[in-house]
Amino acid sequence: MLGRAIALAGGLAGGLSLSQFPEFSQQYLQRLGGAVDALAVVVTDFD
């Protein structure tokens, strides 16, 4: 009985965290793109 409750809680926690991954990865890639754009400005200042 206790094992099932722990498995259910773990499954719910895993499902909730994995459901957030697509949005997290999209925002992370957007942030990386912004950093690349900012570095491009710095590089053009050196030229």
Instruction: Note whether residue 24 is domain-resident.
Output: yes
Instruction: Note whether residue 13 is domain-resident.
Output: no
pLDDT score of 18: 94
User: What tokens appear for 12 in the block?
Assistant: 């719910």
pLDDT score of 46: 86
Instruction: Note whether residue 15 is domain-resident.
Output: no
Per-residue pLDDT tens, the chain, 47 aa: give them.
999 999 999 999 999 999 999 999 999 999 999 999 999 999 998 87
pLDDT score of 42: 93
Instruction: Note whether residue 5 is domain-resident.
Output: no
Instruction: Note whether residue 9 is domain-resident.
Output: no
Q: What dihedral do alpha carbons 33, 35, 36, 38 form, nearest 10°?
A: 120
**Which CA distances in Å does 4 have to 1, 12, 14, 41?**
5, 12, 15, 55
